């Protein structure tokens, strides 16, 4: 997989994670104990932090990967504690993992020069 495609997949998963927060907290299962706006602010503000680095996409994606660790933990906790939210939590876990894996750098191939054995 090329680095550019890897980065695009990461950004798509990051955006899907933001859309999932809106769908989850505003439409599918709105919170009972707090206003929807507060729940959306809590869910979306951490995802907005990497936007400060929009001029350097690699850094923005790295920061999105770090922020996604929070969403991974949130998804695991919701899947464990709220059986009615398990499907949404599973989607959140999967998207967070995709963002985190998109931050991994691809190994660069070394150029082969001459003999493969070291000179003695």
Per-residue pLDDT at 117:
59
**C-beta contacts of 36-44 below 8 A and 24+ residues apart:** 44/18
Average pLDDT, the chain: 91
- How do residues 103-114 score in pLDDT, each as one tens digit? 887 666 666 665
- How do residues 24-59 score in pLDDT, each as one tens digit? 999 999 999 999 999 999 999 999 999 999 999 999
Give the residue among 67, 72, 60, 74 at the shortest CA–CA distance from 25: 74
Average pLDDT over residues 91-105: 94
- How do residues 71-90 score in pLDDT, each as one tens digit? 999 999 999 999 999 999 99
Structure tokens at 45: 């503000």
Per-residue pLDDT at 115:
56
**Taking 60 as the threshold, does the pLDDT of residue 120 lie above it?**
no
DSSP per-residue codes, 65-94: HHHHHHHHHHHHHHHHH-GGGHHHHHHHHH
DSSP state of 113: -
**Measured between alpha carbons, how far is 4 from 106 in angstroms, rounded to an integer?**
11
């Amino acid at each position: 997989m090329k680095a550019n495609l890897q980065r695009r997949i990461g950004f798509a998963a990051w955006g899907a994670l933001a859309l999932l927060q809106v769908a989850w907290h505003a439409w599918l299962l709105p919170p009972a104990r707090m206003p929807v706006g507060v729940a959306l602010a809590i869910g979306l503000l951490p995802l907005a932090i990497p936007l400060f680095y929009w001029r350097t996409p690699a850094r923005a994606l790295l920061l999105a990967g770090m922020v996604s660790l929070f969403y991974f933990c949130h998804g695991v906790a919701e899947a464990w504690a709220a059986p009615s939210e398990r499907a949404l939590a599973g989607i959140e876990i999967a998207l967070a993992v995709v963002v985190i894996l998109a931050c991994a750098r691809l190994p660069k191939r070394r150029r082969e020069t001459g003999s493969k054995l070291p000179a003695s």
